[in-house]
Amino acid sequence: MYRCYLNGKFYGTGNLKYMQELFVDYVVTCEMYGKNQAEFKIIKLWNEGEEPIGTTDV
């Protein structure tokens, strides 16, 4: 699972394929909304199929 920030603001959370979709949608499909630059930061939260640290089944 990953979390994406765009220009320092939260942009989305999901698997790596979803991170690619966010990037392609912003940069390619929407042509960066007319902006000259964009800064993407991707943070890996945990591996897919693993339970996130600190969660419990209730």
3-state secondary structure the chain: CEEEEECCEEEEEECHHHHHHHHHHHHHHCHHHHCCCCCEEEEECCCCCCCCCCCCCC
Determine, yes or no, domain membership for 55: no
What is the tens place of the pLDDT at every residue in 1-57?
999 999 999 999 999 999 999 999 999 988 899 999 999 999 999 886 776 665 544
pTM for the full model?
0.76
Determine, yes or no, domain membership for 12: yes
d(CA 34, CA 32): 5
To which residue do tokens 């993407």 refer? 40
Task: Quote the number of domains for the chain.
Answer: 1
Determine, yes or no, domain membership for 58: no
Determine, yes or no, domain membership for 40: yes
Determine, yes or no, domain membership for 11: yes
Determine, yes or no, domain membership for 50: no
| Residues 2, 47 contacting (CB under 8 angstroms) | no
Domain span at residue 27?
2-44
